[in-house]
Amino acid sequence: MKTRILYASSYGYAKEMAEQLSVGLSGEVQCVNLNVKQNLDLNDVDTIVLGSSIYVGQIHKSMKEFIKVNHDLLLKKRLVIYLCCAFEHEFENHLKNNFPLELLEHASMIQNLSGAIDKSKLNFGYKMMVSMIEKTEAGKKPILRYDDRIQTILSHLNT
């Protein structure tokens, strides 16, 4: 079984999730950063995992572009999607706003793997945004980790 984990990440959290998945998956597994590489030969791949972090309600442009170009191919593969949403209550809306409905219906599993924000690493604009988010009700709550959801994806794909 061949699996490709295609991820898009700015500060490393979605990448870390891809790497954790790759370690636990059986068969031939490769992680690919879509922000670096877009043209991929996926014809002989059985399973595709798409993973992206979210910035102001949007998945990465590279992920959007990849989905647009490979829409039909994705519908022929076993598909799992994960998002890295720091704010769990926004997860369903982020899915609906960023992915075509038929891909969401086709995916055999979709998970939110939460997120991490390290303000010291952010660029100036993002730092300002996070300072504003921190003043909101949702932003005052701690960002929870859902490590069990990695295991849920692994159990799903390894059986």
Ligand X SMILES: Cc1cc2nc3c(=O)[nH]c(=O)nc-3n(C[C@H](O)[C@H](O)[C@H](O)COP(=O)(O)O)c2cc1C
Minimum Å distance from CB 140 to ligand X?
A: 14
21 binds ligand X (CB under 6 A): no
32 binds ligand X (CB under 6 A): no
Of 40-48, 68-76, 101-109, 113-121, the segment contacting ligand X by CB under 6 A is: 113-121
Residue written as token pair 């982020």:
94
Minimum Å distance from CB 2 to ligand X?
A: 24
109 binds ligand X (CB under 6 A): no
- The CA distances from residue 152 to 113, 121, 155, in Å, are 11, 30, 5
d(CA 88, CA 108): 20
Q: What count of other Cβ atoms lies within 10 Å of the Cβ of residue 69?
A: 12
Measured from the CB atom, the residue of 109 and 129 that comes closer to ligand X is 129
- 150, 17 in Cβ contact below 8 A? yes
98 binds ligand X (CB under 6 A): no
